[in-house]
Amino acid sequence: MEITTEQNLQMKNVLSYRGKVDQKLLMEKRKEIDDVMNRFGARPIHPAITSTFGIEKTENGPIMDLEILVPLDKDISHEIAMAKLPGYRFKPLFLLANAVRIRHEGSTETMENSIRELYKFIQVRNLKPITTGYSIPMNDPDDPKDLIIDFMVGVDPNIL
């Protein structure tokens, strides 16, 4: 597991959904996002990227404050504005700059180890995170053991 610094993630024409969801609602939102793209004649050019802003523990299970980002093949800003879909936004440009990145290759069961390694790297080097973590899938394997996913966290470029 190699950790790299000074990484950037730039995407254009990004459909964004942010809301509080449990696991069941998350699956429904993923289908809804597909429906929104189809409704406006847009296609994804990369698998969905996610960022978790927080997790609340409830008696019915965890509720995640989550953002789902999908880069599209075209601008649908007007359509999204006119549709007034709760939780949805269109971002003409998304830029995550000066990020620290780790690539996880393998099972979904060991992803948490990679994330911990990334945050340990940040802590040991006294870096200051200025964004949440972003999960960027690099493939869509049939077998979850063949997953390749990048985790990135933006850090303050200033060294004080």
- Indicate the helix (H) or strand (E) that contains 25: helix 23-39
74-89 tens-digit pLDDT: 999 999 999 999 999 9
Mind listing the pLDDT tens digit for each residue in 35-66? Answer: 999 999 999 999 999 999 999 998 888 999 99
DSSP conformation class of 76: -
- Per-residue pLDDT of 5-14, as tens digits, reads 999 999 999 9
pTM: predicted TM-score of the whole model, two decimal places: 0.90
Burial (CB count <10 Å: 0-12, 13-18, 19+), residue 66: buried
Which residues touch 98 (CB under 8 Å, ≥6 apart)?
6, 7, 8, 154, 155, 156, 157
For 13, which DSSP code?
E
Confirm or reject CATH 3.30.70 for domain 11-94, answering yes or no.
yes
100, 157 contact by CB (below 8 A): no
Where do the domains of the chain lie? Answer: 3-9+95-155, 11-94
Residue 144 DSSP code: G
